[in-house]
Amino acid sequence: MTISSKSERIDSAVAAAVANFVAKRPKTAAMHERAKAVMPGGNTRTVLFSQPFPIRIEKAEGSRLTDVDGHLYRDFVGEYSAGIYGHSHPKIAAAVAAAMAGGLNIGAQHVREIEFAEAVTSRFALERVRFANSGTEANMMVLAAARNFTMRPAIMPMMGGYHGGTLYFSTGASPVNAPFDCVMGRFNDVEMTRALITENADRLAAVILEPMLGGGGCLPATPEFLQMLRAECSAHGIILIFDEVMTSRLHPGGLSAAYGVTPDLKTLGKYIGGGMSFGAFGGRADIMALFDPSQPKPLPHAGTFNNNTLTMSAGTVGLTQIFTPDACVAHNARGEGLKARLNEMFMQYQAPMQVTGVGSLLTLHPMGGEIKSAEDAGKADLRLKRLAYFHLLDEGLYVAERGFMALALTLSDEDFSALEASLRRFVEANRELL
């Protein structure tokens, strides 16, 4: 088969998969047209959009989703990590109901925020913490804190990093990013990034990264890379920030604890709020003291719902009663087992596919070879990702179109076996295209 004919066959296979998808979803198509009349592209959250139109869910329960056309899916997206408890966990539902009964919008400080702050600081080894409404907010606030603490203007994110809607660096700085002065680091490139830090040390306030790139393809940092960042930041008075909005679920103390590398500040979000809108930032007491309103000229940190009773209550229950340290270890061990099974199966077929990630956060890549950076992951044929996405949807398995999976606690061993079997059928049916 020539390269051109292989490319044409991939195009043909994707076109057939799209046609099959559309034919089975007339109500979804109609609702998409309706949505387009009031939202640009029928969308209000970019990551959920896919061509020709995204699935539209009518009901969710446990680890199952039902769309408006009646198709049932096993949910492997897990609300991009926020849905670790599954849909409508009874303990979370009870906590929310109790919070509503006790007062929803209090407009004052209350007991629940203290209990939640105690649980969060203890679990993630933070000297002080403040709450926000999203990971984006949390990351914006720690960067502001670092710039004010060091009195330096610049920050170093990583190429391929994502820290929220205003801190998007998948291919460099996004046009909607906050106007920070950025020096782009190279994820897992020890020498190049060390040189950039040294060259820009006098103006760098902070280095910010996920210990495992989430949106960049679930690519773990190497221990050597994180140790270099810790040493260089300490040597030059730069604030090291770990965005653990997602990766905090990968170890009882967050992925930083698994690496044994302690950042100066850490951001949290997603599942920690019990599945509610949530963000948090914390770490060293001397830096966090910048936000102490009892001190002269504190940094302001506003947010009507920072301490909302729903999140404070659901988060406490989730962190202390459901996703306990023991549950965290067991859940991520299951994820590692699934990853190993899938990669072994791909190897048996000699198929250029692989799953990367740590524990319960995984990404499927239709490519062979080592993947250490977002640039490496970006070399995959996006058409093959789409082909796998439509195949899995057709067999009742929902993963993100980019191949991302955030495993919920409610997924069973049978669900894992169903995913493995479906991907086996995908490889068998498409061996000439991979």
By the 10 Å C-beta count (0-12 exposed, 13-18 middle, 19+ buried), 413 is classed as exposed
Q: Is 273 helix (H, G, I), strand (E, B) or coil?
A: helix
Q: How far is CA 337 from the centre of its chain?
A: 20
Q: Are 293 and 306 in contact (CB under 8 A)?
A: no
**Strand-strand pairing, 361-365 and 168-169:** unpaired
Nearest to 235 by CA among 210, 198, 207, 209: 198
Q: Output the pLDDT for position 2.
A: 58
Q: Output the pLDDT for position 388.
A: 98
pLDDT < 50 regions, the chain = 1
Q: Are 343 and 130 in contact (CB under 8 A)?
A: no
Q: Are 415 and 63 in contact (CB under 8 A)?
A: yes
Q: Are 412 and 63 in contact (CB under 8 A)?
A: yes
Nearest to 357 by CA among 332, 380, 331: 332
pTM of the model: 0.96
Q: Are 187 and 374 in contact (CB under 8 A)?
A: yes
Q: Output the pLDDT for position 51.
A: 96
Domain with CATH 3.40.640.10 in the chain: 90-322
Q: Is 364 helix (H, G, I), strand (E, B) or coil?
A: strand
* CA angle at 405 for the pair 309 and 342, rounded to the nearest 5°: 145
Q: Is 208 helix (H, G, I), strand (E, B) or coil?
A: strand
CATH code linked to domain 3-84+326-429: 3.90.1150.10
Both structure tokens of 155: 């920050």
User: Is the preceding peptide bond at 52 cis, omega within 30 degrees of 0?
Assistant: yes
Pairwise CA distance, residues 143 & 159, whole Å = 17
Domain with CATH 3.90.1150.10 in the chain: 3-84+326-429
For 90-322, CATH number out of 3.40.50.2300, 3.40.640.10, 3.30.1460.30, 1.10.357.10 equals 3.40.640.10
Which residues partner with 357 through β-bridges?
A: 362
- Helix (H) or strand (E) segment spanning residue 266: strand 265-269
**269-287 per-residue burial string, b: 16 or more CB within 10 A, e: under 16:** bbbbbbbbebbbbbbbeeb
Q: How many CB atoms lie within 10 A of CB 329?
A: 12
Beta strands in 62-167 (DSSP E): 64-67, 72-75, 128-132, 154-156, 161-162
**Longest alpha-carbon distance in the chain:** 72
Residue in this structure with the two tokens 């190279």, named with its chain if needed = 186
